[in-house]
């Protein structure tokens, strides 16, 4: 990571957190020494550079807020990595819950009784199913089913007509239906 990106990261963390005594220079040195490694670690775990940067920034922010105690630790970098891991796990849990909720809503919308077999509880199965959709179908599906937007609102967000959103959504549901265990003749 270049010096400009590091400086911007330090400025972001400093702007978000309350100042802690005169430890700004000490924290900045800590940030510079550890940011690239934390980012690289979570780039591998999160498999996305933007997510890795957000995890790193959140972890550094939390460390900065407790810098008076963290700086006195034998291994402040260990605390940083533990904090970053907690941020990553928390984000994964929230994403898994959202995907399960989304999967259940798709299944419930297609089930004749509104109940039935629970939808894909396995987060990876839902991610794979959504990843198998063309990008416009996936966008229409997530905007309408995941964010509860109307087809008109989703159309505005996507820059397409509401009727096109409905067509994309119907195709996405038809593609996802076999993956969720609901056959075409089941309901």
| 113, 160: one domain | yes
Q: Are 43 and 88 in contact (CB under 8 A)?
A: no
Dihedral (C-alpha) 152, 157, 160, 162: value to the nearest 10 degrees? -10
| 104, 171: one domain | yes
Number of domains in the chain: 2
Domain around 132: 97-179
Q: Is residue 90 part of a domain?
A: no
Q: Is residue 67 part of a domain?
A: yes
| 108, 170: one domain | yes
| 119, 57: one domain | no
Query: Whose structure tokens read 């330090």?
Result: 10
| Residue 133 per-residue DSSP state | S
DSSP 42-108: HHHHHS-HHHHHHHHHHHHHHHHHTHHHHTTSS-HHHHHHHHHHHHHHHHHHHHHHHHHHHHHHHHH
CATH number, domain of 170, equals 1.10.10.10
| 106, 162: one domain | yes
**pLDDT tens figures, 39-48:** 988 888 777 8
Which of 72, 106, 129 finishes a domain? 72
| 102, 58: one domain | no
Q: Is residue 83 part of a domain?
A: no
Q: Are 84 and 42 in contact (CB under 8 A)?
A: yes
How far is residue 109 from each of residues 30, 147, 177, 180, measured CA to CA in Å?
Answer: 51, 15, 10, 12
Which of 17, 39, 72 finishes a domain? 72
The helix (run of H) or strand (run of E) holding residue 149 is: none
Q: Is residue 79 part of a domain?
A: no
| 19, 59: one domain | yes
The residue that leads in pLDDT, 116 or 91, is: 91
| 163, 110: one domain | yes
Here the tokens at position 113 are 């009784």
Report pTM: 0.49
Percent of the chain clearing pLDDT 90 (strictly above): 27
Q: Is residue 9 part of a domain?
A: yes
Q: Is residue 102 part of a domain?
A: yes
| 101, 67: one domain | no
**pLDDT tens figures, 117-133:** 333 344 556 667 788 88
> Residue 85 above 50 pLDDT?
yes
């Amino acid at each position: 990571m270049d010096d400009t990106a590091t400086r911007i990261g330090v400025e972001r963390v400093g702007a978000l957190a309350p100042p802690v005594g005169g430890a700004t220079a000490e924290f900045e040195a800590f940030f510079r020494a550890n940011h690239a490694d934390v980012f690289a670690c979570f780039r591998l775990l999160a498999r996305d550079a933007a997510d890795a940067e957000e995890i790193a920034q959140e972890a550094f922010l939390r460390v900065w807020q407790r810098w008076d105690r963290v700086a006195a630790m034998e291994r402040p970098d260990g605390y940083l990595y533990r904090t970053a891991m907690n941020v990553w796990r928390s984000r994964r849990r929230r994403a898994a819950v959202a995907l399960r909720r989304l999967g259940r809503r798709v299944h419930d919308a297609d089930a004749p009784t509104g109940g039935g077999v629970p939808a894909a509880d396995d987060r990876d199965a839902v991610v794979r199913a959504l990843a198998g959709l063309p990008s416009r179908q996936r966008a229409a599906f997530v905007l309408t089913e995941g964010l509860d937007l109307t087809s008109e609102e989703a159309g505005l967000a996507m820059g397409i007509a509401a009727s096109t959103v409905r067509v994309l959504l119907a195709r996405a549901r038809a593609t996802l239906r076999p993956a969720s265990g609901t056959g075409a003749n089941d309901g």
